[in-house]
Structure 1
Amino acid sequence: EASNLVNKIVYDSKINSFWIATDQFIVKLKQEEVVHTKKFKPNIIFKSERSTKSIALSSNSGIWLSWIPGLHKFKNSKLVYNSQKANAWHGNCYSIIANANGSLWLGTLNGLWKFKNGEFIYYGKHHKLLKTRINSLFKYKNKLFVGTKGAGLIIYNINNDSTQIIDTKNGLTSNSITSIVNYKNNMYIATNKGLNILNLNNDKDYQIKQFDQGNGLLSDEITELQVFDSTLYIAGKKGINYIDFKQFNSENKLINTYIEKLRIGTTDTIVKEKYELKHKQNFINISFKAISFKSKQNILYRYKMYPIATNWIYTKKNELQFTSLTPGSYTFIVSAKNKSGKWNPANTTISFVISKPFWLSWWFIALVIAWLIILVIAIIHKSLLSVQKENRLKKELNLYMKKAINSQINPHFLFNTLNSINQHILKNDKLISSKYLNRFSIYIRSVLNALKNDFQSLSEELRISELYLELEQLRLKEKLKYEIKIDKSVVSREIHIPTLIITPFLENAIWLGILPKKEPGKVEIFIFQENKTLIISIKDNGIGRKESLKLQSNPDFNLSNPNPENTLERIKLLNNLYSDKIDISYIDIDENENKYGTIVNIKIKINGDKKSSFLSN
């Protein structure tokens, strides 16, 4: 009562018999019994302990069997080798190839092994592709054809230890291979989705032909292949087919393809050979089909899209999308492969021309270039004018700077100061004479040094102002008093202001405000800061601007008339040069309260940092 489930059949030409492996028995059956006897009693050689998955004829007589697990050898109906006992090898082997030198190739659950001289060598250690479960092996010349479960066909070159993979991307009907045989220059590869014929003429570009139920197979799910004489036997789930190679013609008709639908953006359009599109119409969806009653849905296509894809791209999809295409000319080519592995040379072609947007057109680019040239010329011209203006303003500024210095050391001022010092000398007041002569020399030296720079520190400016007030106080005695106050928030050494900007207003306050007054007068200087503005406030309690103007218009008025216009012009030039950073304002003290005088506020913009220098940016 042997099991009827046959796992493997091997023909032994030496004894003209078949070896048959079932789940329970190993059976030897003579060829004449198969051909001439309808009923026969099988010759059961032995009962196997487990299911036998593969049989191979040993080169030195006997047979190799793969049980699950382990590898075994029988000779003269006796077990002569057991891998579990001899080598502790427990691999689950599904296919065996016996070599003439006595070694074996083993296709196992965890990949490819070799058994040689009693040693098991694992090839999956150095080849990632050879780690997959192997269902079938076939050795042809120097190559080992490895049929895997799920990874396709792996061709292992024994001579140079290299691997090559062929799968559904290359035209196989499935990546799960069940059996491999050879006839002449073709490999026949069985899968769970049909039969594949691999032509070996060109090992760089293998040609694959496909056969399935559309070609007459009883079932696409093939379990075993065998070649006997010139006949291929195909065992499937629904029975056995056979192919007589003498009468077999594997060629099928070429498959024609056509464009089924074309969508530009989100709009379906009429299919035609050429399209003229705008630059925004750069999203293209192409649907195509091949006319084949045998292949049905299992059709392999190849396409190109010049110039972005110049090599063939293979796919089983019949819909493609091309997004964000840049302006230019494109040509789409597609063809299909028949069951015989032949590509139709009459490709289906469609072309597109996507126009450039106006900003990429030659006239627009030329216009932009011309505009840029004009803009550059205008900028250069403006820069030249700005430099010329700056140079002119600096020259004028230097001129008014010299005038300001001249006003500080004019002959009248020198005479009055020296005369005052001389009066003290005549009175034999040596200490005061020496003190004020020293102050006078420091003042003159400081004014002359100021000529070298357009700006100086606030502390230096106040020092010169105080020297001037001391000298005037020497001359006017009790007639003049002064006071200088600086807010604690002002860092006078680190703030820079225009040179000699305070003393002209002090001179104006004394000569036109204090001197015409009968009573003694006072000049006060207050320095403080509000936000980013430095304020220098000069206050006098003189006769006021209104009375001063009346006196100046009187021809009998014989006091020296200081002119602050030079300073005001210099400030105007500085504002033009440095974008309005100085402001001068006057406040007349209310006469209704019997108080007279003038307040001059000099406002200078500085950086936010209290320690920033004037005009540093």
Structure 2
Amino acid sequence: MLIVLSTKVLANIQTTENFSMVDGLPSNVVFDIFEDSRGLVWLATDAGLYEFTGEDIKFRKGLTKLQGERINSICEDPDGNLWFSSLGLGLSKFDGDRLSIIQFDSLKNEREIYYLQTIGSSNKLMLGTSDGLYEYNIDESSLTAKNTTYPKAIFKIRSANNQLITSSECQKENFIYHIKFGDYLKNDSEEIPIVSLGIQNDLDKLKKVLGGEKTFRLNLSKENSVIADVIEQEENAILSYYLLRYYENGVEKRKVLKLQDNSFVDFSAVNKLDNYFINTIFLRKGQNDLWFGTQNCGLVKVENSFFKYIQTGFNGFTNPESQDLVSDFYGNILVSNKNELIIVNDLQIKKRIVAKDFYAKCAGKVENLKDFSLYRLQIDKEGLVWVSSSKGFFTFNTSNYQLQFVGITPASEFIFTQDGEILSFWDNTLSFNKKDGKCEEKPSYSFEQSSTIEISKMRNQGDIIWIATRQKGILKFQENQFTIYNRNNSGFHNVINDLLIVDNSTLIVAGNNGLIYKLNITDTDLKVIDTIGNEDGVVGTAIQGFQLLDDNSLWCGTNTGVHRFDYNSWEQDSILQFRFWNLNDGYYDQNGERSIVDADQNIWVQTRSRLLKIDTKRFSDQDHLKTRIRLRTILVHNEEWMPKKEEVDQWTNTPIEPVAFKYFENDLTFNFGMDFCQNISNVRYRYLLEGYDKTWSDWTTDTKAMYSHLPGGDYVLRIEGRQLSDLEIIPFSFTIQMKIRWWKTWWFIILASLLLILLILLTGNTYVRIVRRKEKERTKQFNRVIALKMKSLQNQLDPHFIFNALNSIQSHILDENTENALDYLSDFSMVLRKNINNANKDFISLADEINYLQHYLKLEQMRFFDKFAYKINVDNSIKPHKYLLPPMLIQPFIENAIKYGLSGSKEKGQLTLSFEAESDGYLKCTIKDNGIGRQKSKGFHQDSNISNHHKTLQITRDRIKLLNKVLDNGRVYSYSIEDLFDDSEFPCGTKVEIGFPKASRVIVNNH
């Protein structure tokens, strides 16, 4: 008969972490741990009340009065106020800002309040005191005793089964007393339920006992049982913990039981907590780590891990130098060490085949067993386990535990082919063997003897065999031919730690460079399709232990932890979903090289020191860890920003949004972190300042967001955090208002625009005045120049007129016509006198001009012996004394009409001079004669006369041009000459029209 060694060795190993005075805790005595409705966690110590973030202790200024005092208990009323009980001070209320201490006349100062408990949603508190149980009405500020029949000290109050259960400090005759609604309950020994560790037959009844008001008998061992009761309970969706108290030899002790998978476990014994006196237990909402408040060691945290191990040492592995593992048809896990084979089933080690058992089977068949070593395991098609060794092959039957020596060849690595042959590796050579000897039909492959080749993995793909090495890359055997792929021809590294066949066209490989390669298989090539690296979630460099499960999750281990990737999300340029666990999550052995998947999709990993089981279903069913990101501090120019009291939340001390900064406070550093993060080393953050950044930052462990020279505007700081062991991304947002520099504000821009417009207007107005002044000066000077020019022209006209007049007088004297000569001389002197008077005038009145023309025409009549008659017509609307016009401007046209028109006519001539005014004051002068016309007059005069005529007209034109330059009323001086014809188209005279602008609007300078 075979003797089966059956020892239960599979355990859920959990790490214990202390947080004590060395870590900043003000005292190692923690009486209570409380999480309020805001998610803030508070510690009641014998040195005061403090906020706890999971990593740091925070002291509130509003709680200064409680600093150094012993705080026994904490609770919260429906309005969100916190209530504390403290030694000597009694009851205190904290609203997040101000602390109020409440005194009771009915309680003596020496009576202590041990515990506080709210009553449902009412504004009432239950007070467990050294003098019994009391009810405090918050609204009425009244205190009422509730247990007058049993006035004993009450140190714990809890809710169970919709009722309040209190626990006293009294022990009598091995019984523990409870108080329920003011009456104490005593359990008779016959009625006390019994609780034994392990799977219970009546679980529902036992849970009622643990959650109810009854005490029970706890079997600590076969020989030892004690009376115990539950004083605290903590639970979530998958875990339940109970804090028990019991007495041994009159000494109170505490113990924690854990209920999971319908089994009660001595949690204190498993995690070596029996030496702690536990005051309170605390399981934060949405998390699995259990915290203890102890009497002498501060806070203790036990991390709940889903990784399970077979322990080493006694009844474990005797040799830590592991080699391989397989899973057989019967659900056994077989593990090989260098000198033994271990069979594990149903969480137990069922059988060990040690070195001497192997020696006995091959004794006499091989020489020198001193260097004997076991290597790899494989299961053939019949379910027989093959074990390779340095002396040959062994077979092992897991149904009857029979061990046989087969021999064939030594092999450090081997694999069965599709035909049932063995491809083995030994002494740098790959060779094929049949189960009964060497296979001559297939070739062998030898590596260079100068280097020792290590094969990391051999896998089948139908008739193809893939071989991963740690020196030469990957070998493929197909159609009796070996082909090697590595850095030289395929783009991946020569060091390959593991190889996984996904399908007929895809391989997954990895080495020591932190990259996971996806390779495409063709008939002749092995090409890299894509890679996963650090930016995709790979943590660590040495990658091995690939497993692809039925849910398409890709698992692997690195030198820092274990990864789970969603293989379906692995596409080029896609975001790969992944999870990661490391040492702080309970993954203690990062040196596992070999792994397998059992029939239940559990992954088994063989490390160098133990066997690890990963319950992959437990990972996929795990609740999201409830935590949050909190803004710790804000630095402005590297100095902590100190907001006003009204600018921060009174509970969390975080700024109330939006936070406004002055325009010069534009160098900002935001420090943030996660509260109660189960594994801070496994947290990654990224951030984006909306309105400033274009893209998110990279995922990093850095907990700072820094911005320099931030321009004015409204921003939203968005932070995302995630624990790599959890897929959920935790969001956080924070609104910031950066004041715009005052010269960039809208009101300043409008004001500046108005001032600019006003400045432009003032500048324009000033400029216009300056221009006008300069123009006035310029015009004044220009008028003087024009006047000089005009006087020069007039001077040119005066000699011409005088010459003609003297000629006329001479003619009368030669004709001895003395009377006419004297009359002519009298008129001539009058005309000359007027010429002299008008010489220094730019303008004269129309009356003076008409008077002058009358004397002139009379002289011309006498000169031409009354050959023509003249007539001057003035419109009745014209007032001659109010119209001004330049002198000597009409006379040249009259002179030309007489000399070239009327003088050549055979008939007596007629000259008409008319003055008319338009509505705007424009004066028209019309000179009309009935002479011979301009064309005919050309033949009666010599060239010199024509030249003088042209000169006269040119001088007149120049005068008119100069006069028009100084006008500003829109009308100009003008003249026109028109030839007149009779009905037979025969010339019958000439008409001249001269226009004069209103003289009152002409700039003049009369002297």
TM-score scaled by structure 1? Answer: 0.52
Aligned to 1:208: 578
Aligned to 1:235: 606
Aligned to 1:154: 517
Aligned to 1:62: 421
Aligned to 1:260: 632
CA contact (8 A) 1:188 1:195 kept: yes
The superposition leaves residues 448-473 of structure 1 with CA deviations (integer Å, 9 ceiling, x where unpaired) of xxxxxxxxxxxxxxxxxxxxxxxxxx
In structure 2, runs of 5+ residues without a counterpart are: 1-368, 642-652, 789-1007
Deviation of residue 100 (structure 1)?
A: 1.6
Please state whether the residue corresponding to 1:366 is helix, strand or coil.
helix
**Taking structure 1 as reference, are residues 319 and 94 closer, same or farther at Cα in structure 2, changes over 3 Å only?**
same
CA contact (8 A) 1:69 1:93 kept: no
Deviation of residue 267 (structure 1)?
A: 1.8
Deviation of residue 250 (structure 1)?
A: 5.2
Give the partner amino acid of 1:192.
Answer: N
Deviation of residue 134 (structure 1)?
A: 1.9
Give matches, 1:88-127, under 5 Å.
93-102=455-464, 104=466, 106=468, 108-109=470-471, 111=473, 114-117=476-479, 118=481, 120=483, 122=485, 124-125=487-488
Which moved further from structure 2: 187-196 or 213-222?
213-222
CA contact (8 A) 1:147 1:154 kept: yes
Q: 2:500 aligns with which of 135, 138, 157?
A: 138
**Taking structure 1 as reference, are residues 32 and 113 closer, same or farther at Cα in structure 2, changes over 3 Å only?**
closer
The superposition leaves residues 361-413 of structure 1 with CA deviations (integer Å, 9 ceiling, x where unpaired) of 123333444555667778888999999979999x999x99xx9xxxxxxxxxx
Give the partner amino acid of 1:321.
Answer: M
**Taking structure 1 as reference, are residues 178 and 45 closer, same or farther at Cα in structure 2, changes over 3 Å only?**
farther
**Taking structure 1 as reference, are residues 75 and 43 closer, same or farther at Cα in structure 2, changes over 3 Å only?**
closer
Matched, 1:351 2:735: yes
2-structure distance, mates of 1:363, 1:263: 30
The superposition leaves residues 85-124 of structure 1 with CA deviations (integer Å, 9 ceiling, x where unpaired) of 89x9997653333322425364553655655552525364
Q: 2:546 aligns with which of 180, 205, 227?
A: 180
Give matches, 1:506-585, under 5 Å.
none
2-structure distance, mates of 1:25, 1:286: 65
Aligned to 1:82: 444
Q: 2:715 aligns with which of 302, 311, 330?
A: 330
CA contact (8 A) 1:21 1:55 kept: yes
CA contact (8 A) 1:70 1:90 kept: no
Deviation of residue 20 (structure 1)?
A: 4.4
**Taking structure 1 as reference, are residues 351 and 36 closer, same or farther at Cα in structure 2, changes over 3 Å only?**
farther
**Taking structure 1 as reference, are residues 353 and 156 closer, same or farther at Cα in structure 2, changes over 3 Å only?**
farther
Aligned to 2:529: 163
2-structure distance, mates of 1:306, 1:68: 63
Matched, 1:320 2:691: no
2-structure distance, mates of 1:253, 1:4: 50
Give the partner amino acid of 2:715.
Answer: Y
CA contact (8 A) 1:111 1:133 kept: yes
Give matches, 1:100-499, under 5 Å.
100-102=462-464, 104=466, 106=468, 108-109=470-471, 111=473, 114-117=476-479, 118=481, 120=483, 122=485, 124-125=487-488, 128=491, 130-131=492-493, 133-141=495-503, 142-158=505-521, 163-185=529-551, 186-203=553-570, 204-230=574-600, 231-243=602-614, 251-257=622-628, 258-269=630-641, 271-274=654-657, 275-291=659-675, 294-307=678-691, 308-311=693-696, 313-338=698-723, 340-345=725-730, 347-370=731-754
**Taking structure 1 as reference, are residues 194 and 66 closer, same or farther at Cα in structure 2, changes over 3 Å only?**
farther
2-structure distance, mates of 1:189, 1:63: 27
**Taking structure 1 as reference, are residues 93 and 223 closer, same or farther at Cα in structure 2, changes over 3 Å only?**
closer
Deviation of residue 357 (structure 1)?
A: 0.7
2-structure distance, mates of 1:47, 1:330: 70
The superposition leaves residues 274-307 of structure 1 with CA deviations (integer Å, 9 ceiling, x where unpaired) of 2211122222223333345652422233444323
Give the partner amino acid of 2:438.
Answer: K
Percent identical pairs in the alignment equals: 16
The superposition leaves residues 3-29 of structure 1 with CA deviations (integer Å, 9 ceiling, x where unpaired) of 67766x45334142344456x456343
1-structure distance, mates of 2:432, 2:595: 24
CA contact (8 A) 1:192 1:223 kept: no
2-structure distance, mates of 1:5, 1:287: 56
**Taking structure 1 as reference, are residues 126 and 304 closer, same or farther at Cα in structure 2, changes over 3 Å only?**
farther
Matched, 1:14 2:350: no
Please state whether the residue corresponding to 1:206 is helix, strand or coil.
coil
Aligned to 1:613: none
2-structure distance, mates of 1:366, 1:17: 92
CA contact (8 A) 1:252 1:340 kept: no
CA contact (8 A) 2:475 2:485 kept: yes
Q: 2:395 aligns with which of 29, 49, 55?
A: 29
**Taking structure 1 as reference, are residues 281 and 183 closer, same or farther at Cα in structure 2, changes over 3 Å only?**
same
The superposition leaves residues 428-458 of structure 1 with CA deviations (integer Å, 9 ceiling, x where unpaired) of xxxxxxxxxxxxxxxxxxxxxxxxxxxxxxx
Please state whether the residue corresponding to 2:749 is helix, strand or coil.
helix
CA contact (8 A) 2:635 2:670 kept: yes
Give matches, 1:594-605, under 5 Å.
none
Which moved further from structure 2: 192-201 or 365-374?
365-374
**Taking structure 1 as reference, are residues 85 and 208 closer, same or farther at Cα in structure 2, changes over 3 Å only?**
closer
Which structure has greater helix proportion?
1
Deviation of residue 340 (structure 1)?
A: 4.2
1-structure distance, mates of 2:474, 2:612: 30
Please state whether the residue corresponding to 2:569 is helix, strand or coil.
coil
CA contact (8 A) 1:331 1:352 kept: yes
**Taking structure 1 as reference, are residues 47 and 5 closer, same or farther at Cα in structure 2, changes over 3 Å only?**
closer
Give the partner amino acid of 1:154.
Answer: Y
Larger Rg: 2
1-structure distance, mates of 2:592, 2:423: 24
In structure 1, runs of 5+ residues without a counterpart are: 404-617
CA contact (8 A) 1:148 1:154 kept: no
Give the partner amino acid of 2:607.
Answer: G
Give the partner amino acid of 1:262.
Answer: I
TM-score scaled by structure 2? Answer: 0.34
CA contact (8 A) 1:2 1:25 kept: no
CA contact (8 A) 2:428 2:447 kept: no
Deviation of residue 205 (structure 1)?
A: 3.9
Deviation of residue 311 (structure 1)?
A: 4.4
Give the partner amino acid of 2:713.
Answer: G
